[in-house]
Structure 1
């Protein structure tokens, strides 16, 4: 299953990505000033993935990517794919795994694992 991940950029804006079950980023959402807008866009994508406009694009170097948009506003841009086959697999993964995807919020930059020194000092 895929996963939406919310994080904070160095400039203070928030962003979200949709990652595959293997952890690879499939697409990245547009920058948001407020974290709540990330949640709203994720909900929009999750609930309406079948009706969003998916535009296929190709870079000058021959790599494929897509953009998700609604009413002319680009909501997210995919990673670049080296082949049309990989591009198609990426689209299939989005359509299958976006609706049930959970959301992780890493925007507070709280490290969830203790330092190794803390673990070893507690064990002694």
Structure 2
């Protein structure tokens, strides 16, 4: 089962990573000034990860596939790692869809 891990950056912003059952990070958030905003981001991932149209499939400047997960308002709520192939990226999207809805939250800032 997946889990959201909340951590604090050096600049005191909160962020979350969605990790798959094997511990691999499959989605990383932006930085948030308030923990409550970070927690709202997690809830947004839970909701939006079930809508395939919210996944923006991209290619980086060096040709590596990746994806962004967007909220209803179009804001990016999470970004994937860079993948070696389109198939690997698409597997990452499926992993987010599978893991996000029931993922536990591991708050490492307390």
> TM-score of the superposition, structure 2-length normalised?
0.91
SS of the residue 1:37 aligns to? helix
- What's the CA shift for 1:59? 1.1
Unaligned runs of 5+ in 1: 109-124
Give CA deviations for 1:48-77 in whole Å, capped at 9, x if unaligned.
322361101111222111011121211111
Q: Which has the larger radius of gyration?
A: 1
Rounded Cα–Cα distance in structure 1 between residues aligned with 2:24 and 2:62: 21
**Residue matched to 1:39:** 39
Rounded Cα–Cα distance in structure 2 between residues aligned with 1:81 and 1:7: 24
- What's the CA shift for 1:22? 1.2
**Residue matched to 2:57:** 56
- What's the CA shift for 1:5? 0.4
Unaligned runs of 5+ in 2: none
Rounded Cα–Cα distance in structure 1 between residues aligned with 2:77 and 2:45: 9
Rounded Cα–Cα distance in structure 1 between residues aligned with 2:89 and 2:48: 21
* Mapping of residues 1-124 of structure 1, within 5 Å: 1-51=1-51, 53-70=54-71, 71-108=73-110
Q: Which shows bigger deviation, 63-72 or 50-59?
A: 50-59
> TM-score of the superposition, structure 1-length normalised?
0.81
Rounded Cα–Cα distance in structure 2 between residues aligned with 1:88 and 1:53: 13
